[in-house]
Amino acid sequence: MSAKAPRTGRIARGALAGLAVARAGVAHLSHRAQGIARSPEDSQQARAAYEAKLGRILFGALNQLKGTALKASQLLSMELGFLPEALRSELAKAQYQVTPLNRALVIKLLRQEFGQGPDDLFAQFEPNAFAAASLGQVHGATLVNGEGEGEAVAVKLQYPGMAASIGSDMAMLRSLLQTFARGSDSLPKAAIIERVLADIEAKLAEELDYQHEAEQMRWFRQAFAVRPDLVVPQTFPDLSSKRVLTMQRLPGMHLNEWLATRPSQAERDHFGQLLFDTFLFSLFELQRLQADPHPGNYLFMPDGRLGLLDFGCSKALSASFCGGISAAWSALLRKPRDYPCVQRAYLELGLISPSLSEQEFREQLMPALAGTVAWQTGPFVAEFYDFGRLPDMPRPDPAQQRQAVGYLHSVTPELPYFDRAYLGLLLMLRTLGARVRTRNSWIR
């Protein structure tokens, strides 16, 4: 059964958003009314049920809107510790299934952008997309003339109406989270929520500007020139615009397709090491991350090189942020753990208030973060780590999650991108079952 197309009309999207907000409001009133007669023993269970219900309402609306709404859902679900687990797990169900553009719409889009159809722009153009995601689809083609004549390229086309829907989709997210916040102490302060949502909104607009993505690809292509084992596709400016991106088509397979060939442990370790080293090199040397942690953004090439795709979501990092991550994680790994150093690093990162006492930090906040911290830093405990044994991401105890959120003072703009990129890395390495040398000069 084919998926429904994203609703791009403002009235249709507004109606869906309004219905979701109304349903969330009813759920909130019901939760409060029933809470009057609830015993303390039942309150925790009722809270979890309420959070899960709001999550289903939110995801249900986003799943119908698709496009930028569903992309925002996926990004929010990867903010570790930001949302209550019941709500986060619902948003994590985001699946990018959209009806592909038909040939008439493909021709229309190319004519709008370049004044010509695919048969004029390319020597050969595949009418059926070979890849699709939340915001666009990718077609195979070959160049017709110029320096790259006959070269195989990938042409990414943006779905119609995506840019116009960002504002209304994010307004719905704000309304739903505000409704949720009125009945729960499990969310951060309103200013922190707004900062995260504003950043997601800005990045979605950036991701829908394919000229910006082409600039990022050129930057990373040059930066990775010292790493011959990494490949970033060349872009073709004359065949690219804000809604169309033409790039070199690299040979290779995506993760699941490559794993289906039953690669050896040595091959899995090789690519796992490339993925791990690329993350650390990007974080601490380039101070810029490719921050969309999706297996479809990597190609396992037949000559052993790793192809890097999709730079629509990237983030430049400050030296102070990178230094803060290095200092905090290094201190967390020391035996005994260097709590004063961890607290200083968290303070410099803006995560905690200067008024938080050392005793509160050590006895209240750190126990609440213990599970997440252990999971994040575990691969660095020894020189080598077998990611095939990486446990599931811990589900925080609701009471501890609320306690941690209560101490959250601010969220530096870089942190969500770091969290997403690192989470994506760990999950990919676990899928690979790679054994990786994790000892390095930055986290020790």
How do residues 370-427 score in pLDDT, each as one tens digit? 998 999 999 999 999 999 999 988 877 777 777 777 888 777 889 888 988 998 899 8
User: Quick one: CA dihedral 284, 310, 412, 402, positive or negative?
Assistant: negative
Q: What is the DSSP letter of 379?
A: G
- The predicted pLDDT at position 44 comes to 67
Whether the Cβ atoms of residue 306 and residue 231 lie closer than 8 Å to each other: yes
Q: What are the tens digits of pLDDT across the range 155-166?
A: 999 988 888 888
- Length of the chain in terms of residues written: 444
Q: Which is higher by pLDDT, 317 or 99?
A: 317
- The predicted pLDDT at position 2 comes to 39
Q: What are the tens digits of pLDDT across the range 3-59?
A: 444 454 556 666 766 677 677 667 766 766 665 555 555 666 777 777 777 777 777
DSSP 26-90: HHHHHHHHHHTT--HHHHHHHHHHHHHHHHHHHHHHHHHH-HHHHHHHHHHHTSTTTS-HHHHHH
Instruction: Report the alpha-carbon distance of residue 432 to residue 68 in Å, rounded.
Output: 29
Q: Residue 233 above 60 pLDDT? A: yes
- The predicted pLDDT at position 319 comes to 96
> What is the CB neighbour count within 10 angstroms for residue 148?
16
- Res. 97 pLDDT band, cuts 50 70 90: very low
Q: Which is higher by pLDDT, 173 or 264?
A: 264
Question: What domains are defined for the chain?
Answer: 10-97+165-187 (no CATH), 99-158+209-249 (3.30.200), 252-444 (no CATH)
Averaged over 127-137, what is the pLDDT?
84
- Res. 76 pLDDT band, cuts 50 70 90: confident
Q: Which of 187-201, 208-222, 349-363 has the lowest mean pLDDT?
A: 187-201
Q: Residue 325 above 90 pLDDT? A: yes
- The predicted pLDDT at position 169 comes to 79
Instruction: Report the alpha-carbon distance of residue 77 to residue 87 in Å, rounded.
Output: 8
Percent of the chain's residues with pLDDT above 70: 82
Q: Residue 343 above 80 pLDDT? A: yes
Q: Residue 1 above 50 pLDDT? A: no
Most confident region among 51-65, 76-90, 209-223 by mean pLDDT: 209-223
Give the burial string for 287-309 (b: 16+ CB within 10 Å, else e).
Answer: bbbbbbbbbbbbbbbeeebbbbb
